[in-house]
Amino acid sequence: MQSVQKTLLSQYACAPGINALITAWNQAFDPADLISEWYDHIWNIATAQGYGLDVWGRIVGVQRVLTISSENFIGFLEAADLTEQGFNTAPWYNGTATSSNVRLSDEGFRQLIYAKAMANITDGSVLSLNAILMALFAGQGDAWVEDHGTMSMSYVFNFIPTDVQISIIQSSGVLPRPAGVAVSYAIRGHA
């Protein structure tokens, strides 16, 4: 407490015993350091760690553990996802894909939380979807949204996303899908 003397009744203000006791308790139980630590590790999303980020994940509706598909298959552009590869680079799809669970690091999870928080309040415009992509893939390469004008759109990436990023893009639910709009994904170039 910052001013413990204001909490004493006036009749006890000059009592040395109770003043010493309250001063000692004030020094022992001063919550200022704990409040500062709690703010930094839990409440402030920019500096939160571990459990604090898990709390933020529950608030915005994302999980730290993602299921990723670690296999690519021979495919064509009509597949509308990021798992298709050209001939002589991947096996044929045999009906099952190997998947595994991956726990995101604090920094990766923080990016996912920021993107989901922005997706929760987006208006679905190309401008706001591009802002989400810029936040999620900052410094990794160009990513943008193409509006085809026929109730369809594409998320386009000018870099090769990792398996975890592909999982974030396609199955985490972070990238918004405006109502009634068909969404596809494409890799256009290599940064």
Rounded Cα–Cα distance for residues 66 and 102 (Å): 5
pLDDT (tens digit per residue) in 95-123: 555 567 778 889 888 888 988 898 888 88
pLDDT (tens digit per residue) in 8-41: 777 777 788 888 888 887 777 777 788 899 999 9
> 3-state class of 176 per DSSP?
coil
Residue 169: closest CA among 93, 80, 94, 98: 80
The domain ranges of the chain are: 12-42, 44-187
> 3-state class of 147 per DSSP?
strand
Rounded Cα–Cα distance for residues 126 and 133 (Å): 10
Residue 175: closest CA among 104, 102, 140, 126: 126
> Are the CB atoms for 1 and 24 separated by under 8 Å?
no
- pLDDT category, 43, cuts 50, 70, 90? very high
158 secondary structure, DSSP code: S
Instruction: Pull the structure tokens for residue 142.
Output: 């160009």
pTM: 0.65
pLDDT (tens digit per residue) in 146-163: 988 889 999 999 888 877
Rounded Cα–Cα distance for residues 121 and 138 (Å): 20
Handedness of CA 78, 80, 83, 89 (dihedral sign): positive
